Amino acid sequence: MDSSIEREHEAISIGVLTSGGDAPGMNAAVRAVVRSALNRGAKVFAIREGYQGMVDGGDAIRPMKWRDTAGILQRGGTIIGTARCPAFRERAGRLSAAQNLLVHGIDRIVVIGGDGSLTGADTFRREWPGLLDELVAGGRIPRALADAHPQLGIVGLVGSIDNDFCGTDMTIGADTALHRIIEAIDAISSTAASHQRTFIIEVMGRNCGYLALAGAIAGGADWVLLPEIPPQDGWEDQMCALLRAGRAAGRRDSIVVVAEGARDRAGRPITSEAVQHILEEQLNVEVRVTILGHVQRGGAPSAYDRWMSSLLGVEAVELLLGTSPSSEPCLIGIQNNRIVRAPLMHCVAETRAVPQAVAAGNFERVMQLRGADFAELHEVFEAMARALPDQGSRGGRRIAVMHGGAPAPGMNTAVRAVVRLALEHGHDVHAVRNGFIGLAAGNIEPFNWGSVDGWGPQGGALLGTNRHLPTADEIALCAGQMQAHAIDGLIVIGGWSGYVAADTLRAARVLHPELDIPIVCLPVSIDNNLPGSDFSVGADTALNAIVRVIDMIKQSAIASQHRAFVVEVMGHYCGYLAVMAGLASGAEHIYTHEQGICMADLQRDLARMIESFEKGNRLSLMVRNEAANKLYTTPFMCAMFEEEGGAHFDVRNTVLGHMQQGGDPSPEDRVRATQLAARAVGFFGEQFAYGRRDAVMIGHQHGDVVMTPLKNFYDLGDMTFDRPKEQWWMSLLKVAELLEHAR
C-alpha cells in the first residue's frame, strides 16, 4: 500500500455496531470490518450493545485488535452485543452518542442491523453537524475537535433473519434461519410420515414471506401462507382438496407452512390455529402445530452467512475509507451474486413501503417491491403444489430423466421436481437408472407422482449415477433405447462426465436421428466445476459439511497448545470448495491447483505460522484442495511443517473424503435444484411447441437462470483440468488473505 494513504488512514477511526435483532453471520461481518480496517491502517472500535453503547460511551466503546475477532466466525449471535435503545431515538441520546464517538475520533460507522437501526443511523448522520455545534456551545467538546470531524460517514449492512430488505437479495442470517427451518421440517416430516399426520409449521416473517416460501419449497410442503401473497378466496377448500389428493396417492405426511404474518385478501391474519381448525374439520384428521420461534435465530451460521457477511464487511470498510464522510450513506448488499452499494435511505423507504402496501391491499405493488426472484420462487412453489398425483400424460410428450457424473446432494430433489412438474405440464416421464450404462442397457421405467415421494430431502442419488462415458457402440444402443421408449426430450442431472456424455449424444445426432431431441444438462456437483453456471447444486451442501467439520476440528484444538491442521477437501482440480471453505472457516492458508504450490509458498507459510504461534496464536488452519499439487501432497505438507516447525507447533492432517458427497441437501441446494428443474421443464415445453431440438446447459449466471448451448461446453471449460475457464470465486482468495494476515 502507498505509505501516504496508510498514514492518512491512521488518522481515521471507524466504529462498528450490531443493533436490533441479532442474526447469525453478524460476527463474520464484524470480524471482516475489524480486520480489513486494521489492515488498511485505520483504527477500529467495537460499540457494544448497539446504540446503547454509543449513548453510554466509556467502556462500551472499545478499540479492537486483530486477535479480538479470533474464533468468532463460527459463533451465532453477535459477540459485541445488540440491544434496542430507546434513548437513541431522542436527540439527547444522540447528542451523548456524538460526544462519545468523538472521544475516540470516530466519524465513520458501520451499522449492522435492520431498518430501524439503519434509519436511526441516517437521522444521526443528518443531525451530526448540529449535534456538534450543540456540544461545542455547551462546552462539552472543543471547537477544534468538532471542526476535525465535520461529517459522519455511515455504511449499513442488513442483519435480519427474515430476508425482508429491499436492495439486497439476501440479508445476514436468512440462510442460517432457513437451515434451522429445514432441519425442523425434515424432523417433523419423518415423524409425521410415521403416524400419517398433518403438521402446520409456523415460521418467522411478520412482513416477509421469504423464509416461509423458501422453506416450503425446500421442505417439500403442500401449502404455504404468506403475508405478501394472500390466497385466493376459497383457498381453504383448495388446500384441503390438495392434501386429500396427496393422501390418496399414498403420501404419508402433509405439511403446511405458515408465515407468522400471513393474511387473507381482506387483510385479516391467518393464524396457525385457524388453519389447524380448517384442516381438522374438513379432513377429519389430527393436525399438530409447531411454532418454530427463536430456534430460527440461533445456532452456528451457515457457510453462506459466513462468507457472504465477510465480503460485506470488507466492502463496508473499502467504502468508508475510500469516500469522504460527507458522501450519501450506503447499504452494502448482494445482488445477483455480486456485492453492491445501494443508497441506504432509498432501500429503507422501499422496505418500509412493503407492509404499507400489504395493509392497503396493493399486492401488485408488494410484488414489485419484492422483486422478480420472489415472484419466481412463488411460481415454482405453486407449480409444485399444483402437480397433483392423478395427473398422467395429457397429450404431452415424453421426457427421460437421468444422472451422469459423481453423486451429489440435491440430485434426488431435482429428479422429484422434474418428474412432478413435467407431469403437471401434461408430459410423461421415464426415469433412467444407473446413468449412461443404464440408458444403453434399457434400464428405463415410467415414473409417476408417487415414484418420487419423499425424494426431496434425501442425499445421494436414488436413480444411481456414475462417471461412465458411452463408447461409440453404446451411443448406438442409447439411440436405440430412445427410439424404443419414444423419448422426446432428455434431462441429464449431474456433473462433468454427465455433461460430456450428453454432448457426445448431441454430437452423434447426425448418425442417429433418435438423438435429435432437446437435451438439458442441469448442474449438480459438489465441485462447482461446471461451465454455464455460477453455482452447481450440491456445492453448498458440501461446503456446509466441510465448515461443520472444521468447527469441530477447531474445538478439538482448544485442548492442545500449538497445533496446525491441514484439511484436505474435494474438488478434483477445481478450487471452489477449498477457497470458499477457507474463507468461511478462517483458514490462514488456502492451497488450490489453480494457484499451485511451490516450495517458496510453503516456506513463507511456515514462517508465518511460526510467527503467529510466537504471538500467542494456538491454532493454525490450512485448507487444501485434493489435487493442489501432485507431489506436495497433504501428508508431505504435514511432514514438512511438522519437521520444520520444530517445537513451535505440531501438525495434524484431516482428509475429509466422501462425507462431502453425502448428506441431505442444504436449503439453498434444494431451492436451486427445484428452480432449475422448473425452468428446464418450461424449456422442454417451448422446444416441443416450436419443434426445436436445442441442447443446453442450464444454470445461474449473475443471479439469472440462463441456457447456454451445450456445444459451448468445450469453449467454456478447461478440458485438461475439468473446470470452467472463468472462476468467479478465485478473486475471493485475496479477501481470505486480507482477513487472515495482519499486515
| Binding region for ligand ADP (CB under 6 A) | 19-21, 51, 84-85, 88-89, 113-117, 119-120, 123
Within 13 A of 111's CA, how many CA atoms are on the CB side?
A: 32
Minimal distance, residue 692 CB to ligand ADP, in Å: 49
* Distance from C-alpha of 343 to C-alpha of 346, rounded to nearest angstrom: 6
Residue given cell 508465518 in the structure block:
608
* Distance from C-alpha of 126 to C-alpha of 148, rounded to nearest angstrom: 17
| CB nearer to ligand ADP: pick between 96 and 654 | 96
| CB nearer to ligand ADP: pick between 88 and 683 | 88
| CB nearer to ligand ADP: pick between 113 and 498 | 113
Which residue's beta carbon is nearest to the bound ligand ADP? Answer: 116
Distance of CA 494 to the CA centre of its chain: 20
Report the DSSP beta bridge partners of residue 521: 492, 697
* Distance from C-alpha of 333 to C-alpha of 344, rounded to nearest angstrom: 10
Minimal distance, residue 129 CB to ligand ADP, in Å: 17
Rounded to 5°, the CA angle 50-51-55 comes to 135
> 14 near 43, Cβ under 8 Å?
yes
| CB nearer to ligand ADP: pick between 123 and 151 | 123
473 is catalytic: no
Catalytic residue among 68, 162, 527, 669: 162
* Distance from C-alpha of 626 to C-alpha of 575, rounded to nearest angstrom: 9
Could you give the angle at which helices 210-218 and 372-386 cross, rounded to 10 degrees?
40
The helix or strand, by DSSP H or E, that contains position 654, with its residue range, turns out to be strand 650-655
> 169 near 179, Cβ under 8 Å?
no
Closest CA to 22 of 96, 109, 84: 84
What cell does 507 get?
454430437
Minimal distance, residue 32 CB to ligand ADP, in Å: 20
End-to-end Cα distance, the chain? 10
* Distance from C-alpha of 386 to C-alpha of 242, rounded to nearest angstrom: 8
Burial class (CB in 10 A: 0-12, 13-18, 19+), 660: buried
| CB nearer to ligand ADP: pick between 119 and 465 | 119
| CB nearer to ligand ADP: pick between 316 and 580 | 316
| CB nearer to ligand ADP: pick between 19 and 74 | 19
Minimal distance, residue 111 CB to ligand ADP, in Å: 9
Minimal distance, residue 43 CB to ligand ADP, in Å: 24
CA torsion angle for 164, 169, 175, 178 (degrees, to 10)?
Answer: 50
* Distance from C-alpha of 142 to C-alpha of 146, rounded to nearest angstrom: 7
> 672 near 535, Cβ under 8 Å?
yes
| CB nearer to ligand ADP: pick between 369 and 590 | 369
Minimal distance, residue 421 CB to ligand ADP, in Å: 37
Report the DSSP beta bridge partners of residue 404: 494
Closest CA to 178 of 585, 672, 584: 672
For 314-349, what is the HEC assignment? HHHHHHHHHCCCCCCCEEEEEECCEEEEEEHHHHHH
| CB nearer to ligand ADP: pick between 113 and 470 | 113
Minimal distance, residue 372 CB to ligand ADP, in Å: 25
Minimal distance, residue 170 CB to ligand ADP, in Å: 16
Minimal distance, residue 243 CB to ligand ADP, in Å: 36
Annotated catalytic residues are 162
